Structure 1
Amino acid sequence: MTSELLSFTVLGSATPYPSVDNPCSGYLVSGAGARVWVDAGTGTLAELQRHVRLDELDAIWISHLHADHSADLLTAYYGALYADIQLAAPIPLYGPPGIADRLANFLTNTSTRSPVESAFAIEELHDGHRARVGALTLTSRAVSHGMPAFGLRVEAEDRSLVYSGDTAPCPALTSLADGCDVLLCEAESAQVPDSGEQVHHTPEDTGDTARAAQAGKLIVTHVGRFLTPQQAVARASARFDGPIDYAAPGATFPVA
């Protein structure tokens, strides 16, 4: 594993379903010996194992329960309990309210509840939730996605990474990202649901949020299929004049 004080590896960044070379949303955040799987979208468990086994994780953090951010928790459950993994204790899992029952309902087809707590020590997120994972501090804020959803700030000493999850522009995310070294922010597209409610960032919104938060660097992710990564970066750069990159699958970014 990396010896960087704080870094993250992109396990996948596709939406709303994986492409042949890019799983859905998932990141391995590493720092000072701690390893956190942030979002478990479709296909990310396979990529995770290039870097760390399930029984070597220190925690899992899930932004919201759409499948492109959480579906691989289902196969992780089987991997943790019924294969070659021997857990010393259930893996700490931080996720939105109701995550335990959602998993249990997916994993059973009988009247007996699936024992998800055997694999995961589940703690529900709330606005302002804080957790300590090794030397990492994880702070979660409720964001605007039309369902319970959270953004994440990871801090290690004087370094900070903020991940938007899925959200429309909102004051909570801007506040969470205030002065961060790296903002990993979705840039879905200009499209919104038929209701007219905006639940994602456009690339321009991504640039605006990075500028308002005075982020040191912007990395765009979760780019919709109507855009290329290059288009998303170019559009975000019209609103943010700091360094910008794209969360390419397999890439590792130091937070400095």
Structure 2
Amino acid sequence: MDLSLTVLGCATPYPSVDNPCSGYLVSHNDTRVWMDAGTGTLGPLQRHTRLEDLDAIWISHLHADHSADLLTAYYALLFADVSRPPVPLYGPPGIAARLAGFLTNGPVRSPVEDAFAITELHDGHEAVVGSMLLTTAAVEHGIPAFGVRVEAAGRSLTYSGDTAPCPNLTALASGTDVLLCEAESAAEVPDAVHHTPEDAGGTASAAGAERLVVTHVGRFLSPREAVARASARYGGPVGYAAPGSTLTAG
């Protein structure tokens, strides 16, 4: 089976009627990783895999549009019809305390570790999950935030998370088969925490990526406009991460 990515949603900063916030399912053979758990993504995730069969969750940063559905996943894992050991959860420093702070409603701290086996990310972190290697790099988003490169069977897919253009992301994406890059900022001026579509094209070009897919497109841009603007800075194929679509690396 190819290394593939299914778009569960990519809206920012809140879901639209037909587009949840940021979330993706990365698959290779029998390995399944939920990459970002933005608002509304737990529902479409279950079209493609059961929570029982999920191998890991990877979270780029703790803004709600990338992590809020961890809260409902917690209830599913502990108090519903799901029976399994804690799901390996890779996320930014402080993720356990953030979850517990929201979920605790009495004098006893909610047992988030009973639902999630939590590993805090750092720049250069590597994890083998099933048939995949996940390599994490710190990126520039004004809070602890990370991008990730997923490799399996000689193919690679790199996800920017939310970030301004930065050397760490360019290095992480070097020679990647697919760069999934956010393009939230509409303005053609420097943004300290996000890419514009032009920036996404520039990062893909600098990294020598084989293909660019823009995602997390801001609400003042259409997907078609974002693709056209990214193409002005990158000569390779450019696509849009349409909700419900699946792409392969290779």
The aligned residue for residue 4 of structure 2 is 7
Q: Does 1:84 align with 2:81?
A: yes
1:80 maps to a residue whose letter is L
Q: 1:201 to 1:108 in 2, by over 3 A?
A: same
Alignment length, in residue pairs?
250
Inter-partner Cα distance in structure 2 for 1:137 and 1:249: 25
Q: Does 1:45 align with 2:42?
A: yes
Q: TM-score, normalised by structure 2?
A: 0.98
C-alpha deviation, 1:108, in angstroms? 0.9
C-alpha deviation, 1:110, in angstroms? 1.8
2:103 pairs, out of 104, 107, 111, with 107
Alignment of 1:1-256 (within 5 A): 4-87=1-84, 89-191=85-187, 198-256=192-250
| Structure 1 segments (4+ residues) deviating >2 Å | none
Inter-partner Cα distance in structure 2 for 1:125 and 1:115: 20
C-alpha deviation, 1:5, in angstroms? 2.5
Inter-partner Cα distance in structure 2 for 1:103 and 1:67: 11
Inter-partner Cα distance in structure 2 for 1:215 and 1:222: 19
State the identity %: 72
Inter-partner Cα distance in structure 2 for 1:250 and 1:11: 6
1:53 maps to a residue whose letter is R
Structure 1: segments with no counterpart, 5+ residues: none
C-alpha deviation, 1:95, in angstroms? 0.1
Inter-partner Cα distance in structure 2 for 1:135 and 1:53: 18
Inter-partner Cα distance in structure 1 for 2:74 and 2:187: 34
C-alpha deviation, 1:197, in angstroms? 5.7
Give CA deviations for 1:9-36 in whole Å, capped at 9, x if unaligned.
0000000000000000000000121000
Question: Secondary structure at 2:19's aligned position in 1?
Answer: coil
Inter-partner Cα distance in structure 1 for 2:44 and 2:86: 21
Inter-partner Cα distance in structure 2 for 1:39 and 1:61: 6
C-alpha root-mean-square deviation of aligned residues, in Å?
1.3
Inter-partner Cα distance in structure 2 for 1:175 and 1:33: 29
